[in-house]
Every structure is written in C-alpha cells, then in structure tokens.
C-alpha cells in the first residue's frame, strides 16, 4: 500500500509528488497519457513561468517530469477509472489493477472547450488560443477577438485591451452572462468593439490565422482569436466524495482539503480564479503538505 497516490502528471500532480517524496513518503503518480505532462504540453511557447523567459510547453513539462522521476517517484502509465473509499483509498485502473493508499491527491485537470469550427485545429497555437493570460502578450499591438459571454471572456477582453490595438468581443447573445461592471468598463475602452448576436463560423489564414468569418456574413481580419467558452474539469470520478460547483470544479481551499478525509485536490480541477502552471504547481505543494499533515495526525498514518 502507498502512503499517497497522485492522479495526473500535470504540473499540479508532479509538484505534489515531489513534495511528498522529499518528505520521505511512499508515493506513486498515475498518468493516462504516454509520458504526459498535462495541458501545458499543448502550448507552443510559455513566457509566464518564472525562471524561463521562453520555453515550449512540452519542454517545461518534460523538465517537471524528469525532476520527479530523478527524485525516485514512479510514474505509472494507466487510466484511473474508479475510486473507492473503504478503510483506505482504492484506485481502480483501466489495466484491471487496483492499488491502495492512505491518501489521494487528485490532479486530473480540466479540458478547454473548443468551438468546433472549421480551421480551429489548423490554427491552434498559430493564432487561436484558449488562454489570454498565457498568450496575450504574443499579440501586443495587434488585432484580436475574444469569443464568449461569461466572466472569463470579459476579463480576457479587458486584459487584451491593454495590450492589443483592437479587441473584438464576440458573443452569440445580446446580453453577457458575466459581471456587468466589467461590461461597463469595456464599453469605455476605445479599442474594444462588441459584436453581438452572432458567432464565428470559420477561421482562415495562410500559415497563421488571418481572418474569421461570422454567421451574419461579416468577415474580420485578426491576428489572434481567444476562445473563452469555458473548460470542463475532469472531476466525475470523485463526484461522490467531494462538493463541486455548478461547472463541476471541486470546491476546496488552497490547502486542497475536500469534504472526504484523506482526499485532496490540486490544480485546474479545483474551483479557483486563475488556472495557470504557476497556480497548479502551488496547489500541488499545498495539497502535498495537507496530505503529510493528515497522515501525521490520522491514527492509520
């Protein structure tokens, strides 16, 4: 039996494993993707992780993974299909194996929702982004559009309006779901234009994104398209053991403590404001320390 099983080898899970190993805990990481390092592997260029002026997402993730492997933590490639809590935590894997631990750190992340439009896959990382705080600075002085009507879309548009020459905010309805105060702030920005009651149908370009076609027949020349239509947390497997918000994010503080003793969450799967590598790594450290403290005081620990 392990002291801790970490689920997911994204930045949150890997950093949790590193902290646990350094506290001399018997820990294993389970990751479903071959040599997976989470969502960051999809990023062509990361410029906002302290210590690296510029690095590919895959490169950064691989540094994280190698650090954890070299500290002696095993990373098992398998998919967690079920979690059962008896006296201990049982983790059922797709291979049929069942492994047990006193504590679990659940760091399965989230998946950004795509638009499903023609050209989207072609221009991912070449003009189409799902994260304004990650990629906004690549579009300084350029023309961009944000798609969405919630708080993330509004915040993204505000953030980009400080960087970009022009920001189109495209929303399929007449009213935004997000905070009205942000809408009012955006109305005062001269470089922000609202495009309402329509949606993007296609993305075009040669090597990079150059133009989008709207359902109302208009076409707009832009360099960057920021998709802010939400993301899906991968929290279904633990739904019986935790409280979740209406979008499915697990409700827990920075310490990662959930409503089930011995189960901790870290990273993008947790309900929080900013989902980035730096906050995922920080969550991992906090959840590990919570698990270590739990094992110190739990009579089974």
Ligand X SMILES: Cc1cc2nc3c(=O)[nH]c(=O)nc-3n(C[C@H](O)[C@H](O)[C@H](O)COP(=O)(O)OP(=O)(O)OC[C@H]3O[C@@H](n4cnc5c(N)ncnc54)[C@H](O)[C@@H]3O)c2cc1C
Read off the DSSP letter of residue 114: P
Pick 195 or 250: Cβ nearer ligand X: 250
Rounded to 5°, angle at Cα 276 from 16 and 104: 25
Determine the 3-state secondary structure of 297 from DSSP: helix
H-assigned helices in 169-238: 180-188
Q: Looking up tokens 């990361």, which residue turns up?
A: 46
Q: How far is the CB of 60 from ligand X (least distance, A)?
A: 9
* Nearer to ligand X among residue 261 and residue 278 (C-beta): 278
Active site residues: 131, 134-135
CA trace torsion 280, 72, 95, 42 (10° rounding): 40
Nearer to ligand X among residue 83 and residue 195 (C-beta): 83
Query: Least distance to ligand X from the beta carbon of 154, Å?
Result: 19
- For residue 69, the minimal CB distance to ligand X (Å) is 15
115: left (phi over 0), alpha (psi -120 to 50) or beta: alpha
Contact 280, 106 (CB under 8 A): no
Angstrom distance (rounded) from CA 58 to CA 258 = 30
Q: State the nearest-atom distance from the C-beta of 197 to ligand X, in Å.
A: 28
Task: For residues 58 and 36, give the distance between their C-alpha atoms in angstroms, rounded to a whole number.
Answer: 9
Helices (H) and strands (E) in the chain, counts: 7, 17
Q: Which is nearer to ligand X, 262 or 284 (CB)?
A: 284
How far apart, in whole angstroms, are the C-alpha atoms of residue 106 and residue 108? 6
Residue 192 or 258: which CB sits closer to ligand X? 258
User: Min. distance of Cβ 82 from ligand X in angstroms?
Assistant: 9
Output 12 or 157, the one with its CB closest to ligand X: 12
- Phi/psi at 244 (5° precision): -125, 155
- d(CA 151, CA 180) in angstroms, rounded, equals 9
Site residues, ligand X (CB under 6 A): 7-13, 30-33, 36, 38-40, 42-43, 46, 48-49, 57, 79-80, 107-110, 112, 130-131, 134, 234, 237, 267-268, 275-278, 280
Structure-block tokens of residue 167:
């920001």
Cβ neighbours, 10 Å, residue 9: 29
d(CA 195, CA 200): 10
CB of 13 to ligand X, least distance (A): 5
The answer to whether 13 and 300 are in contact (CB under 8 A) is no
């Amino acid at each position: 039996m392990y002291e801790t099983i970490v689920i997911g080898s994204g930045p949150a899970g890997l950093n949790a494993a590193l902290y646990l190993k350094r506290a001399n805990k018997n820990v294993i990481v389970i990751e479903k993707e071959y040599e997976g390092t989470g969502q960051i592997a999809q990023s062509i260029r990361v410029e906002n992780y302290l210590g690296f002026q510029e690095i590919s997402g895959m490169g950064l993730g691989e540094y994280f993974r190698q650090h954890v492997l070299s500290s002696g933590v095993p990373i098992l490639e398998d998919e967690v299909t079920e979690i059962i809590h008896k006296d201990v935590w049982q983790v059922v894997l797709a291979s049929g194996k069942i492994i047990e631990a006193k504590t679990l750190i659940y760091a399965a992340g989230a998946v950004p929702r795509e638009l499903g439009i023609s050209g989207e896959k072609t221009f991912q990382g070449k003009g189409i982004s799902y994260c304004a705080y990650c990629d906004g600075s690549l579009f300084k002085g350029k023309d961009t559009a944000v798609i969405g009507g919630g708080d993330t879309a509004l915040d993204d548009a505000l953030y980009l309006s400080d960087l970009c020459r022009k920001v189109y905010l495209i929303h399929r309805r007449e009213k935004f779901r997000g905070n009205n105060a942000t809408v009012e702030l955006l109305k005062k920005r001269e470089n922000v234009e609202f495009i309402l009651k329509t949606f993007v149908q296609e993305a075009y370009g040669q090597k990079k994104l150059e133009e989008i076609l709207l359902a109302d027949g208009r076409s707009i020349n832009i360099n960057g398209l920021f998709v802010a239509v939400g993301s899906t947390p991968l929290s279904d497997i633990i739904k019986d053991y935790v409280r979740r918000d209406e979008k499915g994010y697990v409700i827990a503080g920075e310490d990662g403590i959930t409503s089930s003793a011995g189960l901790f969450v870290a990273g993008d799967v947790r309900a929080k404001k900013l989902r980035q590598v730096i906050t995922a790594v920080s969550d991992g450290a906090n959840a590990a320390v919570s698990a270590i403290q739990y094992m110190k005081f739990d009579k089974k620990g």
